[in-house]
Amino acid sequence: KELRSERDTLCLLIQQPKPQNAITIAVSSRVLFNMDKEQQIYEQKGMEEYLKYQIEHETEPFGPGPAFPFVKALEAVNTRLRELYPESEELFDVVLMTNNHAHVGLRLINTINHHRLFIERFCMTGGNSPIGYLKAYHTNLYLSADPMKVREALEEGIAAATMFNPPEKRTEVSETQLRVAFDGDAVLFSDESERIYKAHGLDKFFEHEKAHENTLLDHGPLKGFLESLGKLQKKFYAKGQRMDCPIRTYLVTARSAASSGTRALKTLRSWGLDTDEALFLAGAPKGPMLEKIRPHIFFDDQMFHVEGAAELGTVAAHVPYGVAQKRPQKKLAEENAKDSSAAAK
């Protein structure tokens, strides 16, 4: 009781959940906002000019970046959660994690205010690696424009993905329902099956998957994030809001429903997880399907799919994990599509 009232006196000052209770999403400044122009200045004219420019334009808010709609959707979910569970700290907590210099701090805070974002936590590390801070904040997902930092985070066991400039033609996404799409292998699952495919080809892949249908796949870097989303979904179901749930998840995989997909579904089931929809494309391009789904973000380990999604208007993030990173991407997917349509015959 005493603890409660002590907390009450400070509740005006702190409304943020404790990091270990919340689902912490760390975003870098370049994925939350559009800083293209400034990035160019930095690359062409160096740090001093860059910072000078930032300070001169301090009162001009940045435009939205690729992760902006995703963050807005997270806040929409939080609003619904707070209505149903006002005491709970199981919410999304968005942290701005940037290795930008604190000179840019005022412009970033002004921008957060301008867009009415609910971001109270931030780290501006002035050039130092943010990885240690990610761990200190129990980060559940890290989004950055810098692939090196993303790899570092993955190596430390933190779910992470690289984001790019949003597509020119952007598919409209919901402001009230968060939609997250995941690739299967090397994202939700480990890359073990992809390794078989790389080493021994598609036929061996199918053989292997069939033989191991009842063996669980090992988990991939984003399994935990799907799990967090599932936990929140159940909170809505518990209050009778299954039909109106503001979170929807999708599995979008090159596996085929008839064969290799079984192992994926069985694995998810045994983890106690599921996705609202599972789309088995049997090697077909993912872009058109994603265009229909309209997710706020789509995670894939292959740049080919990330780019394909972006071409048709979906914001996709690259998870640089697993064996797919060591070979040219496009060729693999083409082979995959060719062989799987041959196999289907």
Partner 1 sequence: MDSMVRNPDVKQRDAAQAVVVAVSSDAIFDPEVEQVHGATEPLRKGDAFSFMKAIQVVNERLLTLNSDETLLFDVILLSNDSEEKHSRIIASAKHYGLDIGRFCFCNKEDSIESLQSNEVKLFLSMDTNDVCKALQKGVPAALLYHQTDPNHQTEDQLKVVFSGDVIGSSEEMLHGLREQGFTETQLQGFKTAKGSVKEFAILMGEMRRRFGLEGSPLCTGLMTVWSSRDVCASALKTLRGWGLLVDEAFCLAGAPRSPILNLGFIGNTMKSSTYVKEGRDYSMYYGLEV
Residues that bind partner 1 (CB under 8 A): 3, 6-7, 9-10, 12-14, 16, 18-19, 47-48, 51, 101-103, 105-106, 109-110, 112-113, 119-128, 132-133, 135-137
- Which residue, 11 or 243, has its beta carbon nearer to partner 1? 11
Cβ at position 168, least distance to partner 1 in Å: 32
Cβ at position 73, least distance to partner 1 in Å: 21
Cβ at position 224, least distance to partner 1 in Å: 20
Cβ at position 28, least distance to partner 1 in Å: 15
Instruction: Please give the structure tokens belonging to residue 7.
Output: 């907390």
Instruction: Return phi, psi of residue 284, to 5°.
Output: -70, 155
Cβ at position 91, least distance to partner 1 in Å: 13
Q: Are 18 and 136 in contact (CB under 8 A)?
A: no
Q: Are 222 and 188 in contact (CB under 8 A)?
A: yes
Q: Which of 8, 36, 183, 218 is catalytic?
A: 183
Active site residue 183: yes
Q: Are strands 33-34 and 63-64 parallel, antiparallel or unpaired?
A: antiparallel
CA distance 97 to 119: 11
CA distance 216 to 293: 28
| DSSP annotation string for 138-175 | TEEEEEES-HHHHHHHHHTT--EEEE-PPPSSPPP--S
- Which residue, 36 or 120, has its beta carbon nearer to partner 1? 120
Instruction: Return phi, psi of residue 123, to 5°.
Output: -125, 120
- Which residue, 125 or 325, has its beta carbon nearer to partner 1? 125
Burial (0-12, 13-18, 19+ Cβ within 10 Å), 3: exposed
Which has the closest alpha carbon to 121: 32, 55, 248?
A: 32
- Which residue, 80 or 107, has its beta carbon nearer to partner 1? 107
Instruction: Please give the structure tokens belonging to residue 292.
Output: 């229909």
Cβ at position 151, least distance to partner 1 in Å: 19
- Which residue, 86 or 328, has its beta carbon nearer to partner 1? 86
Helix (H) or strand (E) holding 34: strand 33-34
- Which residue, 97 or 226, has its beta carbon nearer to partner 1? 97
Annotated catalytic residues are 183
